[in-house]
Chain A
Amino acid sequence: MLEIKNINARLGEFRLQNISLEIEPGDYLTVLGLSGAGKTVLLEILAGLVKPETGEIFLDGKDISSQSIQKRPFGLVYQDMALFPHMSVRKNITYALKGKGIPKQEQNNKTLELARLTQVEHLLDRHPGTLSGGEAQRVALARTLASDPKVLLLDEPLASLDVKLRQELRELLKKINQTGKTIIHVTHDPMEAATLSKKIAIIEKGELIQWGRPEEVFRNPVSEFVARFSGIKNIFLCEFRKSSEKNGLSHGLTKNNISISCLDDPGKETAHLMIPGEDIIVSEEKLETSAINQYKGIINEIYFLNHGVELIIDAGEIFSVVVSKRSVEKLGLVPGKKVWLSFKASAVKIL
């Protein structure tokens, strides 16, 4: 198990603060955050390339905080791959195997095995300068795997690839993870995190905001940042007055005077309320249901997505609602059409 305890680091003006994480063997952890949040620094600290001010790193119970870069069993793949431009792909992959007393035949076999796994066998005699982005990324992976790291550290490995190559590399990363290799993958893309990881850690301005299983994090974001970053759109800053608690419900007022009822008391005068798009029901008429929050609105825009249709509805506040294509056809939903929105108080989350 990899345990990161209270890591603090300062790089110029930037500070990484109190990062603590626990990663089980074979886990796939995605560290999610905006550019400059400190994700890469965290990887460099784990790899031993940056020395933290304080904090400890334990691997299988052993403190490796002061272990040299060469001895740490972490393999780092940089975002720009950092392939050695003066060496062939074969020599790049073999680099980690040399100087370890491994017989040449065994080095060759291992290189071929990794080249096969990463599908770069046909590129072995090429130089990095002649490779495409996807090919270079695969070679970088093979080179790092050659050092047989216990933990694979990936810095935005899919960032520079097109959709098709992303999918291929995603599958490769899953395959590598299935061999039991622990992976820590840094990205700014929540979709990437959701599709690959067993756990997600969200970093904002050098601080670890939330971490856990993807469904936990995306379903129960602890802050507005996490919610927005996770792609949740219906977040409203509401005011709560003392008198606003009635019928066991709290009622928040948005800046456009829309009242939203929720089950819990935020315990403060202002709070962000969040309504997952899939918990909102769209209908042509007002519904007689238990949903206490009902608003009349007008469809502003319609976006066809892979998994459904996103409606942007102006109901005093702008709501994003995801419905099925069938619903769009059945209800005749088109921009300009007046509709009703309904959601339960229990669907409203206080951030």
Chain B
Amino acid sequence: MLKDWRTQLVLIFFSGIILLFIVAPIAGLLLRTSPTEYSTTLQDNEVVSSIGLTLLASMGATIIFGILSVPIAYLLARMNFPFKGLINGIIDLPVVIPHSAAGIALLGLISRGTWIGQAGEAAGISFVGGVAGIVVAMAFVSLPFAINAARDGFAAVPEKLEKAALNLGASPQRVFFSISLPLAKRSVISGLVMMWARGLSEFGAVIIIAYHPMITPILIWERFTSFGLSYARPVAAIFILVCLAIFITMRVLSGKRYHVRN
């Protein structure tokens, strides 16, 4: 069917529309920003420190929560237990609920009135209006990307390889770190990159918990509502370029696929 030139033309046409829909606004934004605007904005300390904060907070969320999520991903890939479907559904919850609502829900958990909030304050960590709060909010909304990708990655590792390693005398820990994790590495890293990228773009949950210190999506929003499009656009353009550069680099570095003999 795909060899028919008319079918090919229709497929290419619709694919082109979809790609254009994604690329056009971003390209428009980047192209409409003049070199002077780029240069001026790059010298704006508020913008630079906001981008730095956003990158670091999202990376922190990914490192802490993403790595913590590897065991549950492995468990969901390898074990069958009652209510497994329910647990998979719970993991997807942050994706389906409005993020501002997620922010409100998180606030109820980490505000200063709660024991977690008080424990944090006692340890010198301020969630509300603090970097820790931003990290928690970013992690909450982006965790499903890491867990789902890692779970699918582990599920794709043939169980037989793990059994063979056990049979060769390896402990379950050694099997996990020498067989399961390296073979699922690409998916795990891909999930972490997606989690990190999703965390970078978070606005709704973060603004409820920490308006300040200001992450870039909030800075863009503030400049847009206070000063208009021309002030917000250069910040948005630079932020997009930084994200794209890191995102592409991570994708390239995330390793090669291995083919299991059958």
Known: A80-B160, A128-B261, A129-B261. Contact between A86 and B182, CB under 8 A?
yes
> Is B258 an interface position by the 8 A CB rule?
yes
**With the chains together, A69 CA to B260 CA distance in Å?**
23
**Smallest beta-carbon distance A99→chain B, Å:** 6
Decide if A144 touches B261 in the complex (CB within 8 Å): no
Q: Which of A93-148 contact B (CB under 8 A)?
A: 95-96, 99-100, 128-129, 131, 136, 143-144, 146-147
Contact string against A for B residues 144-180, beta-carbon threshold 8 Å, 1 for contact and 0 otherwise: 0000000000000010110111111111001000110
Interface centre among B169, B183, B258 (most CB of A within 10 A): B169
Contact string against B for A residues 138-161, beta-carbon threshold 8 Å, 1 for contact and 0 otherwise: 000001101100000000000000
Decide if A80 touches B165 in the complex (CB within 8 Å): no
**Count, chain B residues at interface, CB 8 A:** 22
**With the chains together, A212 CA to B170 CA distance in Å?**
35
- Residue of A76, A86, A99 touching B170 (CB-CB under 8 A): A99
Interface centre among B158, B161, B164, B174 (most CB of A within 10 A): B164
- Residue of A69, A74, A96, A129 touching B259 (CB-CB under 8 A): A129
Decide if A78 touches B160 in the complex (CB within 8 Å): yes
Residues of chain A lying within 8 A (CB to CB) of residue B158: 82
Q: How many A-B residue pairs have CB under 8 A?
A: 70
**Smallest beta-carbon distance B179→chain A, Å:** 6
**Smallest beta-carbon distance A324→chain B, Å:** 43
Residues of chain A lying within 8 A (CB to CB) of residue B168: 75, 95-96, 143-144, 146-147
Decide if A85 touches B258 in the complex (CB within 8 Å): yes
**Smallest beta-carbon distance B8→chain A, Å:** 33
> Is B262 an interface position by the 8 A CB rule?
yes
Residues of chain A lying within 8 A (CB to CB) of residue B178: 95
> Which B positions have Cβ atoms within 8 angstroms of A?
158, 160-161, 163-171, 174, 178-179, 182-183, 258-262
Can you list 13 A-B pairs with a CB-CB distance of less than 8 A?
A: A69-B166, A78-B164, A82-B161, A82-B163, A84-B161, A84-B179, A85-B261, A86-B183, A99-B174, A100-B169, A129-B258, A129-B261, A144-B168
